[in-house]
Chains A and B, each alone.
Chain A
Amino acid sequence: AQSVTQLGSHVSVSEGALVLLRCNYSSSVPPYLFWYVQYPNQGLQLLLKYTSAATLVKGINGFEAEFKKSETSFHLTKPSAHMSDAAEYFCAVRVYNNNDMRFGAGTRLTVKP
């Protein structure tokens, strides 16, 4: 069954530092991968999605993710963290021709001044 695993339930970085949030997927077929962000007491907002057109995907708010098939990974990065990036981030996988979407457990990002 398709699934995603997010490594690290909490990540803390200093403002201006690199953000790296890890996601590994398990899929026997080409995966359709997504990253979402959730601010407190709000719903999930799409950051970016992998569509197989390019392995490096750029999203909103300066985030990007690289699809690496050999490592079954889709890690999320941002070169320079901002205080407003503090939130919870979810990686998700969707199976082709199936409405099922599986979410990781989430990674809470804290940004220190």
Chain B
Amino acid sequence: DGGITQSPKYLFRKEGQNVTLSCEQNLNHDAMYWYRQDPGQGLRLIYYSQIVNDFQKGDIAEGYSVSREKKESFPLTVTSAQKNPTAFYLCASSTSQGDPHQPQHFGDGTRLSIL
């Protein structure tokens, strides 16, 4: 079955430590996204990528970094510069830009907590 796989489902980070969240899709989608979800705030866009080797900052990119070396993979690194990383992180993908009817498809998320 096609879909988006996020791993791990739960992740714990120590102070000052970088952690990387994995996102893999086999939907052959061009665009991929990372969102952060906090209670009562909906989803906020961290980074997105429309094609391989290219990505753009979203609304809350500070303290995060991404790479897009392969079409199917879009890992997110939460750096030590992110002072409040505890949240639920969602990865999504969609077909190419220009077709606004196409929805975004989501993975099951990674819950990151500070030890």
Contact = CB atoms under 8 A, between A and B. Distances in A.
B106 A105 contact: no
Contact of A46 (B48, B103, B107, B109): B103
Contact of B106 (A44, A95, A98, A104): A44
Contact of B42 (A96, A98, A104): A104
Contact of B101 (A49, A100, A103, A106): A49
Given A43-B107, A43-B108, A44-B90, A96 B100 contact: yes
Contacts, number: 60
A51 interface: yes
A98 B48 CA distance: 12
B109 A97 contact: no
Given A41-B111, A49-B103, A90 B42 contact: yes
How many B residues touch the partner, as a band?
20 to 34
B100 A97 contact: yes
Interface string A46-84: 100101000000000000000000000000000000000
Q: Is chain A's binding surface mostly helix, strand, loop or mixed?
A: loop
Contacts of A106: 40, 42
A103 B98 contact: no
A99 B42 contact: no
9 contacts: A41-B108, A43-B107, A44-B43, A44-B104, A99-B48, A100-B45, A103-B35, A103-B42, A105-B41
Interface of B: 4, 6, 9, 31, 33, 35, 40-43, 45, 48, 50, 88, 90, 92, 94, 97-98, 100-101, 103-109, 111
Given A43-B6, A97-B97, 9 more contacts: A36-B106, A41-B9, A44-B92, A45-B106, A46-B105, A98-B97, A98-B100, A99-B50, A106-B40
